[in-house]
Structure 1
Amino acid sequence: MATTGMTDDEIQLAKLGYRQELKRSWGFFLNMGTSLGYIGIISSIVTLYSFAFKTGGPQAMLIGWPIVSFFSMSTCLSMAEICSAYPTAGGLYYWSAKLAGDKWGPYMAWITGWFNILGMLAGSPAVCLQVASILAAAIQIYNPDFVPSLGWLYGVAIVYAFLGSATNSIGETLLRIFTWISLVGIATGVVVIGVPLLVMSPTKASASFAFGTLVDKTGWGNSTLVFQLGFLLPLWCFWGYDASAHISEETVNADTTPAKSIIYSLVLSIILGYIFLIILNFVVTDINEILDCPYNEDLVCVYLQGTGGSKPMALLLTIWTLFQFVFNTITGHNGASRALYAWARDGAIPQWFAYVHPESKQPLRTIWVHFFFTATLMLINFGSSQAVNSFSAFSTMGMYAAYTIPTICKLIWARDTFKKSKINLGSFSTIINIIAALWLVYLVVILSIPRRMPIVRTNLNLSPIMFVGVFLVINVIWLLGAKKTFTGPRQHITAEEVEEMEKAKHEKIEM
């Protein structure tokens, strides 16, 4: 292979076992923007606001947010430290493989990879259908008699999903432009929505109302439990920042930029999200009006109440909210398609999926697999919207498991052998890793608790059943043959080639 002109990033990637196939041109802001967009803090909050308002209310939202933020940062920091040492598109499963060693590495990579991939894919249908529901609510502002059919919702959701895949297929240059637009749109979203609400709101709630009102529409009748169920709002918001790791092979200074992006994207999302929640809770003064909202989405009632009943402004804010979802899908498809590409490259799924288009330098097959998987899962909504919501809840549980397994592997097998890179936690590494591992145990419990009582078919929380089911299935597949065919990350380049690359690099420097 040609070795002249090899960059430090390409040589580092070769040492990790891979050739440079994707175009490497992304800097910090684009990398960070991908994770910021995937988190999609405004779109996440508006999706979950109705649930959060009934499950703990303002108190659980504004007091619970900083609590969950603190513990989520332990997971984020642990991931960033490992990402700095192993910047590959595979991300999480690659880390597990390397940290668990030769004996346990392939198995831990198998578990991590499937939770990561399925977590990404399972969350898409609910997001797409949410966009359709918000569009229906926007129509209802001036046409309150409009009732969207399931077919109408599916059609809009399909168009939205198609937009995400098409945007990611058009080439690296245009994708960079769209990512920049997404970054700016998400970063300014709180201002665009928040300022009109603060200026036009005829009355403001008191601080005691915004921070002290506990709402329990769960049926549990236990304020302590309901307050903790309110943690689900930030828990469901705070994932997606692994996207920075998945595009590390396209990022310059890969041993620092993706790790920094993981941290900054979550920190920025925490800050923007908290400001947005404070604004929403201070402009809402009539709880019953929100709880009894006649529109498809309670969000519209919040906007109407916050703008003094102005339908034109409520419509504009709802439309801008829809744009937040567009930003989210562009970046979300980017990270997910790279994860699938890497998963195929290392043999967990057929190599056919590890295809990179020679001109666009995009993994086109995995981009469109993402679309078809989403389109298929959304058909379930014709039978049960609860099942779709359960897929979304499972995605959170699966993603957090994938986020934390590498950290657990590091604690068990590599606490003393892990070679820290440029971004590291120093002497705090172990304690932060332990907090992250314990946090996973807690959140799996809280995500498994029924959210409404009494339990009936329409409110059954299927996510823990799905989580256990997926875990059992991927273990059965492992035992039936995958353990013989999947050996973890493959070595796509020889040690001799790596040595030749380094030699050529040194010779170029000396010249």
Structure 2
Amino acid sequence: MAEKNKDQTFSKTQPVKDVAEGKVLTQDEYRLAQLGYKQEFFRHLGLFESWAATFASMNFVSGIFVLFGWIMYSGGIPKSAFANWTMVSGLSSIVLLVMAEIAAALPTAGGIYFWSYRSGGPKWGPFLSWMTAWWNWAGWICIVPGVQQGSTNFLLSALEIKYPNAEILEKGWVFYGYDISAHLAEETNDASIVVARGMWMSTFSAWIGSVPTLILILFCMQDFDKIISAKYSNNWAEYLVQLIGPNGAVAILSLLWVDSTCATASCFYQLSESPSPISRDGVLPFSKYFRRLNGRKISVNSAFLVYVLSIAITCARHRFRSSVLRYHCDVSSYTP
């Protein structure tokens, strides 16, 4: 990384002239140059897009129900489940505020990968950033198959309700995804301000919106024992059957499948460019190929890599006999 040792002062309102190359840099481009990188991605995102990217990835609307069965299995009676969610989301929000502050100071794509480099300094920075890149990359490539598996379980549960005797594929709450805006920093205008705002606005709006939703769900529970002993791919189906009947349950599960599938698409869009930032520093094999952008400044090669690996992980996961083990491997991988 050809990062400069000392940041130069610059105006927040005026463009900067690069005399050596004979061109004018925007403030975002100049700040990125100070951090050792050249502007390559197309900057077009604003505050709403930054907020929406993180909010859609966190997706509490269907995300709460993806792990509903697991929470019930692990002693999630209404009071303890509610305490778990509010505590985890509250502590995660504290972490988020710290990360937002760092993202404002270091608005580069790749997020914590570059932050680790700066934290380690000249001696340990290269090693820490390399280790963080691989650790984070392992989580990134599990996000799409993990989220889609949760989405698929909604659809399978709906089919199991309608066709209870048919042969159908086998089947702690976490607060994650609040750093997505940081990964899009080099595509965001006024990134030093907008990225941090997008991170904390999306996280707090998801937290605030999820609490009344959770209260409504947990304290309307009917037969707890029957819910945890149900054989559906997602035990949330049994909850719905008890509350609104089989047809209503199928309708809600279908809507949740659509919502969760859209969240998967959102995750794929945001993570399709994740190999490119770490490839420009030679972290991945064939980095020269994966860092390449097309004429529209889109990292198509990176997107294909994420797509292929997502399919490979999904197929490999089905070799496990236990569907619970398969899904928990995914969840634990992308929520390190």
Contact 2:60-2:206 within 8 A present in 1 as well: yes
One-letter identity of the residue aligned with 2:329? F
Q: Match of 1:312?
A: 247
Gaps of 5+ in 1: 154-231, 399-511
In structure 1, C-alpha distance between the alignment counterparts of 2:292 and 2:225, rounded to whole Å:
53
Structure 2: unaligned runs, 5 residues or longer:
1-20
For residues 464-502 of structure 1, give each alpha carbon's deviation from its aligned partner in whole angstroms, at most 9, with x where no partner exists. xxxxxxxxxxxxxxxxxxxxxxxxxxxxxxxxxxxxxxx
Is the Cα–Cα contact under 8 Å of residues 185 and 191 in structure 2 kept in the other structure?
yes
Residues 404-483 of structure 1 mapped to structure 2, 5 A cutoff: none
3-state SS in 2 of match to 1:240: coil
| Change over 3 Å in CA distance of 1:2–1:305 after alignment to 2 | farther
Matches within 5 A, 1:351-390: 351-359=288-296, 361-384=297-320, 385-390=323-328
User: In the aligned structure 1, how far is the partner of 2:147 from the partner of 2:161?
Assistant: 21
Q: Which residue of 2 aligns with 1:51?
A: 70
Asked whether the 8 Å contact 2:102–2:115 carries over to 1, the reply is yes
> Does residue 249 of the first structure (1) align with residue 186 of the second (2)?
yes
How far apart are the structure 1 equivalents of 2:117 and 2:81?
Answer: 37
Q: Of the two structures, which has the highest relative contact order with CA contacts closer than 8 Å and spacing of 6 or more?
A: 1
2:40 to 3, 16, 21: 21
SS at match of 1:90: coil
Structure 1 segments of 4 or more deviating over 3 A? none
Matches within 5 A, 1:42-191: 42-57=61-76, 58-149=78-169
What are the superposed Cα offsets for residues 18-54 of structure 1, whole Å, 9 maximum, x if unpaired? Answer: 2222111111111111111111223321110011112
Contact 1:125 1:388 in 2 (8 A): no
The answer (yes or no) to whether the contact 1:113–1:343 under 8 Å persists in 2 is: yes
Measured in 2, the distance between the counterparts of 1:70 and 1:100 equals: 28
Instruction: Give the one of 50, 54, 61 matched to 1:35.
Output: 54
Q: Does the Cα contact within 8 Å between 1:88 and 1:245 map onto a contact in 2?
A: yes
Which of 378-387 and 21-30 deviates more?
378-387
Q: What's the offset of the Cα at 1:292?
A: 2.7
Q: Deviations over 1:249-290 (max 9, x none)?
A: 111110011111111221122222222211111221211231
Rounded to whole Å, the distance in 2 between the matches of 1:129 and 1:396 is 13
**1:434-456: CA deviation from partner (whole Å, max 9, x where unpaired):** xxxxxxxxxxxxxxxxxxxxxxx
Choose 341-350 or 132-141, whichever is displaced more: 132-141
Count of matched residue positions in the alignment of Structure 1 and Structure 2:
311
TM-score (norm: length of structure 1): 0.58
Q: What one-letter code is carried by the residue in structure 2 that aligns with 1:52?
A: I
- 8 Å CA contact 1:31, 1:244 repeated in 2: yes
Q: Percent identity?
A: 27
Which amino acid is 1:334 matched to?
Answer: Y
| Length-normalised TM-score, structure 2 | 0.86
Pairwise CA distance, 1:323: 1.9
The whole-number CA distance in structure 1 between the counterparts of 2:225 and 2:329 is 30
With 328-337 and 20-29 compared, the bigger mean Cα shift is at 328-337
2:281 is aligned, of 346, 355, 362, to 346
Match for residue 17 of structure 2?
Answer: none
**How far 1:114 moved relative to its partner?**
1.4
Three-state SS of the structure 2 residue aligned to 1:56 is coil
Q: Give CA deviations for 1:85-128 in whole Å, capped at 9, x if unaligned.
A: 01011211101111221011111111211121111212433322
